[in-house]
Structure 1
Amino acid sequence: MKQHTHRFTVRTSGKGLVAITHPVTDWVAQTGLTTGLLTIWCPHTSCSLTVQENADPTVQEDIARFFEALVPEQGGRYIHSSEGPDDMPAHLRTMLTQSGLSIPVIDGEPALGTWQGLYLFEHRRAPHRREIVLHLLGEE
């Protein structure tokens, strides 16, 4: 059994989904491990990770609209607003999604479905630099 770790940075341009599938699958291939378990971790409290459809961009638009309606910036009765009106809504959106993902690795690739992609989901309006941490435990 072997393990590998890696960190990389994702630049966001504000709210929305940012595809991270390729940097993750490229790194998994570089490790040389063919079978294992990949953990993807996002050490932030105002963005999250998700597995979502990667074929039709309107899916991402609908997800963004859904979260705007579910956790609105305007009209919310939030006490915490240290970093602006999108601060607390971003924390709530992160809480409703995921900070980490676990994905099996089979034949040297994350076992994603045909239409699945990996995304960082930015919940803040301003651009950010987000760190992603990868850990792969497996065998060659």
Structure 2
Amino acid sequence: MIMTETLSTSRRDEMIDITRKVSSLVSQSGVRTGIAIIYCPHTTAGITIQENADPDVKHDVLMRLDEVYPWEHPKYRHAEGNTASHLKAMTVGTSQTVLIEDGRLVLGTWQGLYFCEFDGPRRRQYHVKLMQG
């Protein structure tokens, strides 16, 4: 089964913690052992696993991505003007796979799942596929 979740972003670049929502979907599904695939169907957003204890990590990640992929560059040619967003999404990736054991996501102590917005603010979706096994 595929579940689709919708969220609204508020800034051009942000990382939104979706760990609780995905954990809730796992709990409600009845899947005890298996995998969860969390997928982003957008070309200017992504999904990552990152530290969820210190909010400065999100700040630092977004800051560094901005340094590597500046919003404006004299050689960018994409007409929409959001080339940096595409590059950031490509770097972060569109999906994460997380193990499920005892009906819970198997994440490290400091890990969380994040929806990464790089071209906001927008209304976005991500999909969660749970597989028993």
* TM interval, short-chain normalised: over 0.9
Identity across aligned pairs (percent)?
35
Tell me the TM-score normalised to structure 1 length: 0.90
List per-residue Cα deviations over 1:40-69 (Å, max 9, x = no partner): 110000000110000000001100110010
Deviation of 1:76 after TM superposition, in Å, equals: 4.5
What SS does structure 2 have at the residue aligned with 1:65? helix
Distance 1:81 1:20 in 2: 32
Q: Which residue of the other structure, out of 5, 8, 16, is the alignment partner of 2:5?
A: 8
Once residues 25 and 48 of structure 1 are traced to their aligned partners in structure 2, the CA distance between those partners, rounded to angstroms, is 18
- Give the TM-score taking structure 2 as reference length: 0.95
Task: Count matched residues.
Answer: 132
Counterpart residue number, 2:29: 31
CA RMSD of aligned residues (A): 1.1
Question: Match for 2:52: what amino acid?
Answer: N
CA deviation string 1:20-49 (max 9, x = no partner): 111100010000111001111100000001
Q: SS in structure 2 opposite 1:24?
A: helix
Corresponding position of 1:115: 110
List per-residue Cα deviations over 1:113-138 (Å, max 9, x = no partner).
111000011101x3111111111110
Q: How does 1:93-132 map to 2 (within 5 A)?
A: 93-124=88-119, 126-132=120-126
CA deviation string 1:8-29 (max 9, x = no partner): 1011112110111111000100
User: Runs of at least 4 residues of structure 1 off by over 2 A?
Assistant: none
Cα separation, 1, equivalents of 2:79 and 2:7: 25
Q: What is the SS of the residue equivalent to 2:46?
A: strand
